[in-house]
Amino acid sequence: MTDHEHRPSPVPRHAAATGTEATWTEATGTEATGTETTGTAATGTGAPPTPTGASRRSRATSTALVALLCAALGVAIVTQVKRTGSGDSLDSARPADLVVLLDNLQQREASLREEVGTLQATLGSLQTSGRGSEAALAEAQQRAQSLAVLVGTAAATGPGLTLELSDPGGAVGPDVLLDEVQELRAAGAEAMQVVGSAGDPVRIGIDTAFTGRAGSVKVNGTRIGAPYTLVVIGDPPTLAAALNIPGGVVDTVSRAGGQLVVQQQDRVEVAALRVPREPQYARPAG
């Protein structure tokens, strides 16, 4: 090297950059144009650069991919659970699991059978109770009808007697008719009615009263005239025998100057009815 050659002087390290170089200042944080980045000792280095639009699009794409992968994984898990819950999983199930499943099914079957048995027993009980109730109701209705016949609130028909009592001399009094009714009751008469030459038939009941005098007999306050006709339901031979005993009703009527004719019949009808009345003092016991 000659004396006229000059070497380039090195640039001082602390000198500021010029030309196409860029600097970052702490005060402004803005970027100048250039390809190099240096800092001076006075200002130092600043904050990192703000993300650009390209970096933001990259992050959004990554997030979308992660969400898509999670959705696909969820669909795969649901599909596997459905397959596991289906009958196809029995082929790959362990023997111990199959035993547990079979035991559960058997227990369920036993429970259902027990429930069916209970329902059948309940149904049978209800049917039996219904038949019992129907039988009790039918019996009660039959008893009510029988009582209605006995007390005189229902018409009756059956075998019995027809009695014709004539009193030409008007000498038969109410006591003779009462004795006749009492004898028939004692012989098993179930229903009776009496009718005279005047008035309508009168049903004879437990409280029927014969009043008046010979030749003018009243039944329950209503005058009936001779001849008197009694219609009685009961066993004809028994009733007739009760009236024809020595010293009985037939003899009594004959001594009073009247005549009693007894006819046994296979069917007679007692159609007269009594009007029921409420008892003034008596009440059902219990």
Q: Mean pLDDT score of the chain, rounded to an integer?
A: 74
> In angstroms, rounded to a whole number, what is the distance separating the alpha carbons of residues 259 and 261?
7
Total number of domains constituting the chain: 2
Residues 263 and 172 in one domain: yes
Residues 138 and 163 in one domain: no
Evaluate whether residue 249 is within a structural domain.
Answer: yes
Evaluate whether residue 52 is within a structural domain.
Answer: no
> Using CA of residue 85, residue 87, residue 93, residue 98, what is the dihedral sign?
positive
Evaluate whether residue 275 is within a structural domain.
Answer: no
Residues 96 and 144 in one domain: yes
Q: What pLDDT score does 82 carry?
A: 56
pTM higher than 0.85 for the full model?
no
For 9-40, how does the pLDDT look when each residue is reduced to its tens digit (9 = 90+)? 444 444 344 333 334 343 334 443 333 433 43
Residues 98 and 185 in one domain: no
**Burial of 217 from C-beta contacts in 10 A (0-12 / 13-18 / 19+):** buried
pLDDT at 84 over 60: no
Q: Which long-range contacts (CB under 8 A, 24 or more apart) does 216-221 make?
A: 216/170, 217/172, 217/173, 217/174, 217/177, 218/174, 219/177, 219/194
Evaluate whether residue 98 is within a structural domain.
Answer: yes
Poorest-pLDDT segment among 31-40, 143-152, 265-274: 31-40
Q: Which domain holds residue 189?
A: 155-270
